């Protein structure tokens, strides 16, 4: 940083020049300050936008997690029914029809889980 000259030693013209230089520095600093304030406002707006986006993504993740749990539970129930001992109480035709429906449901849930996890 420049040291200030002894103002009492300067001539009138030197004081005027020194004052002009200070005024130009002040104007330049004021302009820089305005630009920085504008940039700061833009950054604040960007931060707010990113916070909103983050909240939306958090909500989406939570929704997909719940949906994933639902499908995993549903898949477990289908598999339990398909491979469980309850099938012994149905007729052979009922078991065959039910197995076909369960296999289709399992395949659909598997595809949905793969899509959600991708």
CA dist 47 and 45 (Å) reads 5
Segments making up each domain of the chain, as ranges: 12-117
* Amino acid 1: pLDDT: 54
pLDDT band for position 16 (cuts 50, 70, 90): very high
User: Global pTM?
Assistant: 0.52
Assigned token pair, 112: 């949905």
Backbone angles phi, psi at 2, to 5 degrees: -70, 145
CA dist 61 and 56 (Å) reads 9
CA distances 43 to 22, 32, 52, 55, 58, Å, are 31, 16, 14, 18, 22
* Amino acid 44: pLDDT: 98
Closest to 68 in 3D by CA, of 109, 26, 22: 109
CA dist 118 and 115 (Å) reads 5
* Residue-wise pLDDT tens digits, 59-116: 999 999 998 998 888 888 888 777 776 545 667 777 777 778 888 888 888 888 888 8
């Amino acid at each position: 940083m420049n040291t200030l000259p002894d103002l009492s030693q300067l001539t009138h013209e030197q004081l005027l020049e020194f004052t002009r230089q200070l005024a130009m520095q002040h104007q330049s600093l004021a302009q820089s300050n305005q630009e920085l304030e504008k940039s700061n406002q833009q950054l604040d707006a960007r931060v707010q936008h990113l916070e909103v986006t983050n909240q939306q993504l958090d909500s989406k993740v939570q929704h997909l997690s719940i949906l994933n749990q639902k499908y995993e539970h549903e898949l477990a129930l289908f598999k339990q029914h398909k491979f469980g001992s309850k099938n012994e109480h149905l007729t052979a035709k009922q078991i065959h029809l039910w197995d076909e429906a369960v296999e289709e449901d399992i395949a659909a849930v598997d595809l949905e889980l793969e899509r959600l996890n991708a």
